[in-house]
Structure 1
């Protein structure tokens, strides 16, 4: 059996190695969410930062639930391979993680209280935070939030752990860490601040005020397509490195990170890896959420209904690809003017990235957690288009496709992989073949779509009509009709 990746020795010359001595640098970042995206994105920027300017900025990675990746990283002395997929695949070994914590909330909390930790960053997915976006407050109905409000000395969730750690640091006279959200949430810094302070206020109003006055929550926009690791990933990494690597990831060549530059306790030189520091992230965030993520969600649901397993297949489909571009154009009209954005150029670049034949990004993977993603990806821009008197038909098609996909799952008794999966299944079953009822009931879910969308008869009737045609004739004839509309 091939030896495990545990050191940098004897790696082939073609494999890029860290350009610094990892043992010479302490840890200054605690990162929650050791998923593939973090290992292909923030970790690489930090690896580049240490190579350029040094500093005690190594990362202690942690997962709140899963132990597998943490165990794999620790068994490999924190080393893992990033496989960059393109016409010529490239392999790079990363050494930025000092160690990893898997499924031990108490150890995560202890680490967060360590004065050496100056940044607590997160990629835990939208559904894990437990924030009510409409109220800009902690969601007390979220299981982790409810648990942590009752068991504040032994928190298990994001808001509980951050609040408890900040309380301990305040009481010890230790400077607070900066909280850096790197998930696809709208205005993610302000949203996480609202969630943390809302949680803290229920336990200690003084702590909430202290957090509001003293803790930085910079906003970010992150972008890098990172498919799920497959057996081929593992085999290709082993062939390129000569080592077995159970923590490897694969990704595309493109990578972007836009960050609000507000780090009172300092930060790594992330600009060395290409990060862009700005005063206001919102314009960049809106472009990414609405154009990239929004079209990704359309691809996810349409792709599955058309039997297209990968994003690259969807953008090669002659009926679907023009409507993906149409969706991007519609989203681009909602972006702020005067922010230096180039929606047309961005759309062209996205289609080229999506078409990368070396990236096997599954439509099924993107389709998860729709009710968490679609409010900012589809329904916020749709509301703006409707309020401006524009053409929201691209968003109506996307919505009808999603509803048709939900109805297909319901027909076989399957709930979608979504925090509201059971509710969606129940609504689809209750609606049966009544397309108006399905449209009305799903769009009425709290926090999903603004009133300007749900209360617009022309939009909802268009969705319903498209849904009826998809369920009667299939998606492809509807796409063909849209191309000639």
Structure 2
């Protein structure tokens, strides 16, 4: 019998299971590589267990529970792999188990709710407000209204609806306030989520949102750790590294960053032990990460794919992709404050992007690209236009996303889509035509693989 055919032993806890004091919404690879990792590395990790809920599917919850919520984290650098078993998650539930969510928030010892649900998961409009006309949100409002004053649990489906309902249950139980910590790439995400919850509560019962400030402190964050999707090969790597079986390992890079601003009224883990930073002004760091790192990812996910690449490292090695990323960063810098060490940050990102051992797939990054573009790309494009500059890289990012989304590269179609994405941008008379010109060139180049240098019209190539 070959060694590969012999069943490997399962992962086992080396320490007692910590009590649930954190509830997480939207468990996925990033949460397990980031917030769960920070919690596991806190000096007081024995006091802080995480009960996690999935987003759209129950699969991850089923897989976690099948192995006692343990998993292997593989840190993958250019020099090699290192692994560790993460023990901070202690229970996992399907996202639609609202009964369990309410039960957890009614426990006095629960102190924190964290979220990783992607930008689109919050269902916000271009101005960052909750889309009350969204069918799912509107249905949740009706469901909560219908069950008010009863013991029935409303079948809420949106993240904001579930969170607001759970916070109301905590308030009604007379318990202390929790910290709500969104960890998605939305500017001032704590305030944005607070406003969304308040709008939901007011839609259910106008004038009844006063209790929210007594029940929740919304913390703003900036998060960073490149975490590609797990492959079959990664599952095999765990067995080689550890001698144990793990069907749901997470692969990530050695680099990690977490910046937080806000109050934790019922306590928190000592996340600073693992390198988290607590600041009085998060916005500069948030913008640096959202626009330089995440903006470049959104650009590469479409532009790089159109040039025939499948991963970030392959794209950044393409001189044309590298050139448009560097130009994008120049455009972003025009709108960022001083003191952010941008030269070193940019250099470190090129190294991280080029790590060929982290297979960060462009199709994974491109999910919900239009929603991401509203936050990561369009504000810089508007800033450049407002200051009389022609943001070629930003317009190229927009064109690439629209081409990948199947939008026809004519002025009428581009204008219609820009009105949906950003009315302010669509109102610029020259922008739809510029985007359409670039989109046609991108389509032509994409159809002519293998690709050579981009050939934009000369009047588009002028550097501001």
With normalisation by structure 1, the TM-score equals 0.86
Q: Measured at CA, do residues 137 and 208 of structure 1 come closer, stay the same or move farther in structure 2, by a change above 3 Å?
A: farther
Deviation of 1:119 after TM superposition, in Å, equals: 0.5
> Which of these residues, 11, 14, 19, is aligned with residue 6 of structure 1?
11
Check conservation: 1:137, 1:199, Cα contact below 8 A. no
**Conserved in 2, the CA contact under 8 Å of 1:197 and 1:212?**
no
Q: Does 1:101 align with 2:93?
A: yes
**Greater Cα shift, 157-166 or 218-227:** 157-166
> Does the aligned pair in 1 maintain the 2:295–2:377 contact within 8 Å?
yes
Matched with 1:12 is: none
Q: Paired residue for 1:173? A: 174
Aligned residues: 441
Q: What TM-score, normalized by structure 2, do the two folds share?
A: 0.90
Preserved contact between residue 63 and residue 102 of structure 1 (Cα < 8 Å): yes
Q: Does 1:22 align with 2:22?
A: no
Aligned to 2:40: 47
* 1:64–1:157 contact (8 Å) kept in structure 2: no
Q: Aligned equivalents of 2:350 and 2:392: distance in 1?
A: 21
Q: Gaps spanning 5+ residues in structure 2: where?
A: 1-5, 145-152
* Corresponding residue for residue 81 of structure 1: 72
- Look up the match of 1:456: 428
CA contact (8 A) 1:466 1:478 kept: no
Query: Per-residue displacement from partner, 1:195-254 (whole Å, max 9, x unpaired)?
Result: 100001122345412213552101000000000011111111121111111221001111
User: CA 1:196/1:311 → structure 2, altered by over 3 Å: closer, same or farther?
Assistant: same
Q: Is the partner of 2:328 in helix, strand or coil?
A: helix
Unaligned runs of 5+ in 1: 9-17, 408-427
Q: Note the alpha carbon deviations across 1:166-213, whole angstroms, 9 max, x for none.
A: 222222211121111001112101110011000011223454122135
Aligned 1:96-245 pairs, distance under 5 A: 96-103=88-95, 104-134=97-127, 136-152=128-144, 153-154=153-154, 155-212=156-213, 214-245=215-246
- Displacement of 1:78: 2.2
Task: Provide the rounded CA distance (Å) in 1 between the counterparts of 2:100 and 2:197.
Answer: 20
Q: Is 1:399 matched up with 2:398? A: yes
C-alpha contact 2:123 2:130 (8 A) present in aligned 1: yes
Q: In structure 2, how many angstroms separate the alpha carbons of the residues matched to 1:33 and 1:482?
A: 44
| Equivalent-residue separation in structure 1 for 2:102 and 2:11 (angstroms) | 28
Matched, 1:61 2:52: yes
Shift of 1:468: 2.6
Q: 1:166 to 1:367 in 2, by over 3 A?
A: same
| Shift >6 Å, 4+ stretches | none
Q: Structure 2 vs 1, CA of residues 122 and 146 (structure 1 numbering), >3 Å: closer, same or farther?
A: same
Shift of 1:81: 0.3
Q: 1:131 to 1:458 in 2, by over 3 A?
A: closer
Shift of 1:473: 4.7
Q: Deviations over 1:350-393 (max 9, x none)?
A: 11100001100111111110121001111011111111222311
| C-alpha RMSD of matched pairs (Å) | 2.1
Superposition deviation, residue 22 in structure 1: 3.5
Further displaced range: 59-68 or 280-289: 59-68
User: What is the Cα deviation at residue 4 of structure 1?
Assistant: 4.7
